[in-house]
Amino acid sequence: MTEHAVVIAGGGPTGLMLAGELALAGVDIAIVERRPTQDLPGSRAGGLHSRTIEVFDQRGIADRFLSEGQVAQVQGFAFNRLDISDFPTRHPYGLGLWQNHIERILAGWVGELAVRFYRGREVTGFAQDDTGVDVEVSDGRSLRAEYLVGCDGGRSVVRKAAGIEFPGWDPTISHLLAEVEVAEEPELGIRQDELGTHSFGRKEYEIRDDEIVYADGGPVGVMVTEQNVGSTSEPTLRDLSEALVTVYGTDYGIHSPTYITRFTDMSRQAASYREKRALLAGDAAHVHYPAGGQGLNTGVQDAINLGWKLAQVVNEISPPSLLDTYHAERHPVAARVLRNTMAQTALMRPADARLEALRETVAELLSMDEPRKRFGAMLSGLDIHYDLGEGHPLLGRRMPDLDLATADGPLRAFALLHDARPVLLNLGEPGGFDITPWADRVQMIDARYFGAWELPVLGAVTAPPAVLIRPDGHVAWVGDLTDPGLPDALTTWFGPPPPT
Ligand SMILES: Cc1cc2nc3c(=O)[nH]c(=O)nc-3n(C[C@H](O)[C@H](O)[C@H](O)COP(=O)(O)OP(=O)(O)OC[C@H]3O[C@@H](n4cnc5c(N)ncnc54)[C@H](O)[C@@H]3O)c2cc1C
């Protein structure tokens, strides 16, 4: 039997990000992935949100994505665009970049780290005991691991085998999504009518002045609302043709599809993200309508939250109970995504006069500054606040990427996180706390910051004397170095000091 410290089922965006995080911490890690290569048929996610770009920046890989995508104001709530260009972040925008490119770039990064791939085979089940997990793989092999993480998408085998409930709401809307050739040119863009929301577009596009300008040629991407919800058969070209005729009166002579798929507004969330030694992340833990483009982003951020915690547990730095903070912190985040996507689908239904009045009311509200900021921060992930108790507004929120001054010269705060190691950042008088017991795992940096402290939505906050920053970029403690709470915070998040 082959052994790894952690096995990840599924090498989509979530599994890749998690593997990278674990590999950075020196964990022996393997991914079992059904697809023989990273190639992804179809388009799926269309880009990255501000906070995801930030977390890539924390690892020093944001430029790989930025150099291939198109920066734009992408945030939206039920067709209301939310401009975040005045937000206090180095990346006050989103990035248009198809999921196949996001996965290729992520896989390239993971390929530079020590990650074992078992491609072209599936996890079919698992059994766990007190010391580990036996993971069954479709090639007949069994992998032994200390932990198994299901990053295996909405139909997660790991979730089902772990017996984790997946409560939520059945679909009310169904769309066919396809990439095809056409004999007649359709009008490109989104159409909303009494039958639902539909669109034609080209995969290749440019964003100019925040407007999409499609390429002149190439395959056409089509999304059309189906009039029947709940179909379980694989969609065919004929289904697509019939749905198009119903909506547009013609199928534009569609032919030669590269893929046809179906997606719905089914909204479900795992009741628990952990069952002993089995954990869930990404679509395996939450599925919802793609309004606002939040799925991939939420999965990548699940991985960032879980990675360092699981690494510390496997490396015997922290007790397994640290893993419970993963569910406690991330479950509410996805619950909020489900809520906002359900609200958006309600607003996007075929309109009668009353719904139209509601849409106009929401549009009016979102054009006001405070709601724009709140919703923009929610949809971009910049307002995520883990409940770490009372205290300074930074506590539980993301550390801003400040331009620091150190004895060795200028330094960006995010550069301190490139290796996914925690940081005690002292912005006051140097000295005052001896970090020696944690020196093997926590970096101690003395620095100065002369600018304003500003957080999304909250605005200006008082300058903290020192902050303890977790590897995921969230602030675990704020105070000065004489604060008696600092050793407790270090122990809670980064394990007890080794026995002397
Ligand atoms: C039409 C559409 C548009 C979308 N638009 C956006 C958007 O704009 N922005 C956004 O953030 N999100 C968007 N999403 C959602 C996004 O695609 C998903 O949230 C994202 O892919 C989830 O990543 P994941 O890694 O958790 O799961 P997946 O991408 O589903 O990856 C799971 C991986 O596991 C593999 N696998 C499955 N079962 C097994 C098994 N038993 N053993 C081994 N491997 C297995 C699969 O091959 C796959 O590679 C959209 C989705 C759709 C359908």
Q: What's the mean pLDDT when you consider all of the chain?
A: 95
- CA dihedral (24, 30, 31, 37) positive or negative: positive
Beta strands in 121-166 (DSSP E): 123-128, 133-137, 142-150
Encode pLDDT of 100-132 as tens digits: 999 999 999 999 999 999 999 999 999 999 999
Is 153's C-beta closer than 6 angstroms to any atom of ligand 1?
yes
User: Which DSSP category does 398 fall into?
Assistant: B
**Among 99, 51, 91, which Cα is nearest to 72's?**
91
Residue 111 contacts residue 242 (beta carbons within 8 Å): no
Q: How far is the CA of 320 from the centre of ligand 1 (A)?
A: 28
- Residue 230's pLDDT is what? 85
CB atoms near residue 271 (< 10 Å): 15
Encode pLDDT of 18-74 as tens digits: 999 999 999 999 999 999 999 988 778 999 999 999 999 999 999 999 999 999 998
- Residue 218's pLDDT is what? 82
Instruction: Look at residue 210 and tell me whether its pLDDT is greater than 80.
Output: no
State whether residue 288 is helix, strand or coil. coil
State whether residue 53 is helix, strand or coil. helix
- CA dihedral (316, 422, 115, 47) positive or negative: positive
Q: How far is the CA of 90 from the centre of ligand 1 (A)?
A: 27
Instruction: Look at residue 7 and tell me whether its pLDDT is greater than 80.
Output: yes
Neighbour order of strands in the sheet with 220-225 = 189-193, 196-202, 220-225, 174-181, 255-264
Is 282's C-beta closer than 6 angstroms to any atom of ligand 1?
yes
Q: Whose CA is nearest to atom 26 of ligand 1?
A: 282
Q: Whose CA is nearest to atom 31 of ligand 1?
A: 12
**203: confidence class by pLDDT, cuts 50, 70, 90:** confident
- Here the tokens at position 99 are 């999921």
Q: How far is the CA of 283 from the centre of ligand 1 (A)?
A: 6
CB atoms near residue 157 (< 10 Å): 20
Number of the ligand 1 atom closest to the C-alpha atom of 124: 41
Task: Give the largest Cα separation in the chain, rounded.
Answer: 78
Q: How far is the CA of 10 from the centre of ligand 1 (A)?
A: 9
State whether residue 274 is helix, strand or coil. strand
Residue 20 contacts residue 134 (beta carbons within 8 Å): no
Q: How far is the CA of 15 from the centre of ligand 1 (A)?
A: 10
**216: confidence class by pLDDT, cuts 50, 70, 90:** confident
- Residue 296's pLDDT is what? 98
Amino acid code (one letter) for 63 = D
Separation in Å, CA 440 to CA 46, 199, 219, 344, 416:
40, 54, 54, 47, 15
Q: Whose CA is nearest to atom 11 of ligand 1?
A: 296
Amino acid code (one letter) for 335 = A
Between the two ends of the chain, the Cα-to-Cα distance in Å is 37
Encode pLDDT of 273-311 as tens digits: 999 999 999 999 999 999 999 999 999 999 999 999 999
Number of the ligand 1 atom closest to the C-alpha atom of 35: 47
The preferred substitution site among 197, 226, 283, 340 for testing ligand 1, maximizing ligand atoms within 8 Å of CB, is 283
State whether residue 447 is helix, strand or coil. coil
Q: What percent of the chain has pLDDT over 70?
A: 100
Is 267's C-beta closer than 6 angstroms to any atom of ligand 1?
no
User: Per-residue pLDDT averaged across 316-325, rounded?
Assistant: 97
Cα three-residue angle 182-188-190, rounded to 5 degrees? 125
- Here the tokens at position 495 are 């394990």
Q: How far is the CA of 492 from the centre of ligand 1 (A)?
A: 33
**Torsion (CA) 286, 292, 296, 300 in degrees, nearest 10:** -90
**482: confidence class by pLDDT, cuts 50, 70, 90:** confident
Encode pLDDT of 145-193 as tens digits: 999 999 999 999 999 999 999 999 999 999 999 999 999 999 998 898 8
Q: How far is the CA of 447 from the centre of ligand 1 (A)?
A: 41
Whole-model pTM above 0.75? yes
CA distance 407 to 426: 13
Q: Whose CA is nearest to atom 6 of ligand 1?
A: 45
Instruction: Look at residue 209 and tell me whether its pLDDT is greater than 90.
Output: no
Is 76's C-beta closer than 6 angstroms to any atom of ligand 1?
no
**439: confidence class by pLDDT, cuts 50, 70, 90:** very high
Q: Whose CA is nearest to atom 37 of ligand 1?
A: 152
Is 44's C-beta closer than 6 angstroms to any atom of ligand 1?
yes
- Residue 192's pLDDT is what? 87
Q: Whose CA is nearest to atom 34 of ligand 1?
A: 10
Encode pLDDT of 229-265 as tens digits: 988 889 999 999 999 999 999 999 999 999 999 999 9
Residue 123 contacts residue 58 (beta carbons within 8 Å): no
Q: How far is the CA of 318 from the centre of ligand 1 (A)?
A: 31
Residue 84 contacts residue 93 (beta carbons within 8 Å): yes
Q: How far is the CA of 152 from the centre of ligand 1 (A)?
A: 8
Q: What percent of the chain has pLDDT over 90?
A: 87
Q: How far is the CA of 89 from the centre of ligand 1 (A)?
A: 27
Is 295's C-beta closer than 6 angstroms to any atom of ligand 1?
yes
Q: How far is the CA of 256 from the centre of ligand 1 (A)?
A: 24
Residue with the bigger pLDDT between 218 and 407: it is 407
CA distance 443 to 465: 16
Amino acid code (one letter) for 468 = L
Is 221's C-beta closer than 6 angstroms to any atom of ligand 1?
no
Neighbouring C-alpha atoms within 13 Å toward the C-beta of 194 = 3
Is 376's C-beta closer than 6 angstroms to any atom of ligand 1?
no
Q: Whose CA is nearest to atom 5 of ligand 1?
A: 45
H or E segment to which residue 241 belongs: helix 237-248
